[in-house]
Structure 1
């Protein structure tokens, strides 16, 4: 397969040591960074994404950007800044349409993927994209859950059709499953175990401690965490959120711009020949988990 093709080409030109080619051909590294939250998240990403890429040398970097502009949605300026910081693809979630500006540029944003089960074929944008990594093709899919979320099409039904379609076109498939409950995320991952390379959850903003490889070679993590204010509540100012719980009265949630910051991510290694995940590790950078290069 891919490794044999690389070796054949290498033998013809003799430019690189065969052992080096064998090592490079064994895996594809995918770096996934969780929900970027407002300006603090943008700054954290700009500071640490280059360092993460230098340390882990991923071939593909995916960033969830659904909270990137003022905590709700994304605009074109921030979309371009995240790409400039080092992202190859941006995924979204339930706040996709909260910034109306997205509708004006999503049609010319090939590296932005919104949930594929948003009223299928009736909203702008794309639910997946394909990234080329040397001779390998990686499908990046975004889907949203339905439990405690706004109405959407069935992610299992839409996902099954989309994944079956992509399986004929790509060598590996990564899924950002944006959902509220652990049970829905686990059910989705087990349903597609062995059919995709990875299912990683977003939305709840708290990194979970359950990274594993499911039978069939599917990397799984319930939630990758988020990138933004560390001392807020899910990135929002604490006082406003607490007041809501105490009074049940409508409260304006605002991104905590004076907080310490955090970055949540994971690194997945996928076998280039089989498309199966070999490993998954979580990454946190914050005052309690300082960056160590």
Structure 2
């Protein structure tokens, strides 16, 4: 089974980038399942809209995951009612949405589980407390191949969690901090780990956002007091990983990266590059 996971999609331009290029990526890399974190895809950069989520599904995304911005925006409750749109599972059940989905991919059962650490969820106004990650993992109804989007502030939380579930999950894929980490690992039990897949969004600014408000707030020693800025206006970078999985064990994980500023006339598939590969022996 081949799985493409796309990191945090920031803003409508990034959605259009994915929508234009995903059909070729699916075809050229023989992808069976596409998962995308899209909690930042709204025009404001916080939350989602029905139109943009629809574009992603129409382009070939199979499951959308989220994080602390999952409940942002006027359409949040309706969007989270979609069976293949996830938000972190380790929040009170009273909140809209679900944190797990079961799929059949290439005639095999697959579980996609969305989790977030407490520090990321402190940024969500809708969440007053979070269930510990290990408790949420143990409570999850896991079937077949298990893929985890862990939306977390801290590298150490992602690494510890991955080692704790090594052999029981095919992949633990980090999101939230937007800046891709270099290391791609396959742990001894066959669990792939990347602590940050990276964002799919504007290549300039702060985490894909216009830096103005961040900088002004920083100078006042209140970097997050001003309104969250809009996504930056710059070429889109793709943050994604490709996984080859057999029997809930990852055989290979590689990074796919490409920017909108490809050579004029180049085919999108030709400008895809694999950067760093981890294989399980």
TM-score of the superposed pair, with normalisation by structure 1: 0.83
Q: Which moved more, 1:212-221 or 1:144-153?
A: 144-153
Q: Do the aligned residues in 2 keep the contact of 1:237 with 1:253 (CA within 8 Å)?
A: no
Match of 1:193 in 2: 166
Deviations 1:193-222 (A, max 9, x none): 111100000000011011110111101100
Report how many residues are paired: 257
Unaligned runs of 5+ in 2: 123-128, 273-281
Deviation at 1:240, TM superposition (A): 2.1
Q: Do the aligned residues in 2 keep the contact of 1:147 with 1:184 (CA within 8 Å)?
A: no
Match of 1:139 in 2: 111
Of 201, 218, 234 in structure 2, the residue corresponding to residue 259 of structure 1 is: 234
Distance 1:277 1:134 in 2: 16
Distance 1:136 1:288 in 2: 38
Instruction: Supply the RMSD in Å over aligned alpha carbons.
Output: 1.7
Deviations 1:139-165 (A, max 9, x none): 000001113541411121111221xx3
> Alpha carbons of 1:105 and 1:224: their partners in 2 closer, same or farther (altered >3 Å)?
closer
Deviation at 1:98, TM superposition (A): 1.1
Instruction: Give the 3-state SS of the residue equivalent to 1:215 in structure 2.
Output: coil
Match of 1:14 in 2: none
Q: Do the aligned residues in 2 keep the contact of 1:41 with 1:227 (CA within 8 Å)?
A: yes
Of 76, 101, 107 in structure 2, the residue corresponding to residue 102 of structure 1 is: 76
Match of 1:60 in 2: 33
Match of 1:125 in 2: 97
TM-score of the superposed pair, with normalisation by structure 2: 0.86
**The structure with more helix, counted as a fraction of residues:** 1
Distance 2:15 2:79 in 1: 20
Of 136, 160, 175 in structure 2, the residue corresponding to residue 202 of structure 1 is: 175
Q: Which runs of 4+ in 1 moved over 3 A?
A: 287-291
Of 35, 47, 50 in structure 1, the residue corresponding to residue 23 of structure 2 is: 50
Unaligned runs of 5+ in 1: 1-27
Instruction: Give the 3-state SS of the residue equivalent to 1:82 in structure 2.
Output: helix
Is 1:286 matched up with 2:259? yes
Distance 1:244 1:48 in 2: 36
Deviation at 1:289, TM superposition (A): 8.3
Q: Do the aligned residues in 2 keep the contact of 1:72 with 1:95 (CA within 8 Å)?
A: yes
Larger-gyration structure (1/2): 1
